Amino acid sequence: MSNKIICLFDVDGTLTEPQQPISSEVEKFLLETVKKEFDIAVVGGSDLNKIRDQLGGRNLFEKYKYVFAENGLIAFKNGKALPSQSIQDMLGEDALQDFINFVLRYISELKLPFKRGTFIEFRTGMMNVTPVGRNCSKKERKQFHEYDNEHHIREKFIQVLKKEFPDLGLTYSIGGQISFDVFPIGWDKTYCLRHIQGYDEIHFFGDKTAEGGNDHEIYESDLTVGHRVTCPKDTVNQVDVLMTLVEINVHF
């Protein structure tokens, strides 16, 4: 008997170019070749709508055995929702509100070249904090990113939060151009692994596997076999190699 394997893929930079929909070549390879041998699953940091936009609309749940949005805080198996936790359950309303108030106060005193709206986006398992405001234009997004590279607005903000709230059990991750995520320690992508059962091997493929990257913890986890990829094409190549190796093991 061969080992039962599931391939678990990060979305941005692994199955798709960042923020873009999956290419028809990559999707065809997954659905017509890989799925014949292994179960396939996806885990993204963004919300379900975003993942749905990138990975093929209404049929998303037919394509992938497991779909994990927000690192697995939002989880589906065969299209059926699995139990979830929220950041407000974890922190409690009181601590949560102290944190939010502090963040808004800090932003209110921050002088930037410009500011727009929506400074905190509240998700199921995390908060996304954007000093410049999420609803800035594409051009402004780029301008802030350059400004931040020079002035380290996000980095300094995180240092202040760590000092102010040392006991909340929160961790911070800078991703994208304008924001950072705040979530309970352990609610990184390894969170989704608690939902995956019945496999001998979980092969994870991700592009941000270095320390500080959002694939780091799951790539390093003892529960996965980690694969570091550079782009969707590299993902296809590496899955191809895995399939060949498994094939050889079965025959000898």
Q: Judge whether 39 is annotated as a binding position.
A: no
* 169/176 with CB nearer Mg ion: 176
For the CB of residue 15, give the shortest distance to Mg ion in the complex, in Å. 9
**Binds Mg ion by CB under 5 A, chosen from 12, 39, 181, 188:** 12
Alpha-carbon distance of 140 to 144, in angstroms, equals: 6
Q: Which one of 12, 39, 188, 215 is the catalytic residue?
A: 12
For the CB of residue 171, give the shortest distance to Mg ion in the complex, in Å. 18
For the CB of residue 45, give the shortest distance to Mg ion in the complex, in Å. 8
Stated as kind and residue range, the H or E segment containing 144 is helix 138-151
2 and 242 in contact (C-beta within 8 Å)? no
For the CB of residue 130, give the shortest distance to Mg ion in the complex, in Å. 19
Residues whose CB falls within 8 Å of the CB of residue 97, separated by 6 or more in sequence, listed in order: none
Site for Mg ion in 164-223 (CB under 5 A): 207-208
161 and 182 in contact (C-beta within 8 Å)? yes
**Beta-ladder partners of 183:** 171
Q: Judge whether 194 is annotated as a binding position.
A: no
* 45/133 with CB nearer Mg ion: 45
For position 13 contacting Mg ion by CB under 5 A, the verdict is yes
For the CB of residue 40, give the shortest distance to Mg ion in the complex, in Å. 16
**Beta-ladder partners of 172:** 182
Q: Judge whether 134 is annotated as a binding position.
A: yes
Q: Judge whether 207 is annotated as a binding position.
A: yes
Residue 12 known to be catalytic: yes
Q: Is 71 left (phi over 0), alpha (psi -120 to 50) or beta?
A: left
The Cβ-side half-sphere exposure at 7, using a 13 Å CA radius, reads 28
DSSP 181-234: EEEETT-SGGGGGGG--S-SEEEEEES--STTSTTHHHHH-TTSEEEE-SSHHH
Six-digit token string for 251: 């025959």
Q: Judge whether 188 is annotated as a binding position.
A: no
Per-residue contact track with Mg ion, 39 to 78, x per CB under 5 A?
----------------------------------------
Residue 215 known to be catalytic: no
Alpha-carbon distance of 207 to 219, in angstroms, equals: 10
Q: Judge whether 234 is annotated as a binding position.
A: no
Displacement of CA 11 from its chain's centroid (Å): 8
Alpha-carbon distance of 127 to 64, in angstroms, equals: 27
Residues annotated within the binding site for Mg(2+) are 10, 12, 207, 219, 224
Question: For binding to Mg ion (CB under 5 A), which residues are involved?
Answer: 10, 12-13, 207-208
Residues annotated within the binding site for alpha-D-mannose 1-phosphate are 123, 134, 141, 179, 181
List the catalytic residues: 10, 12
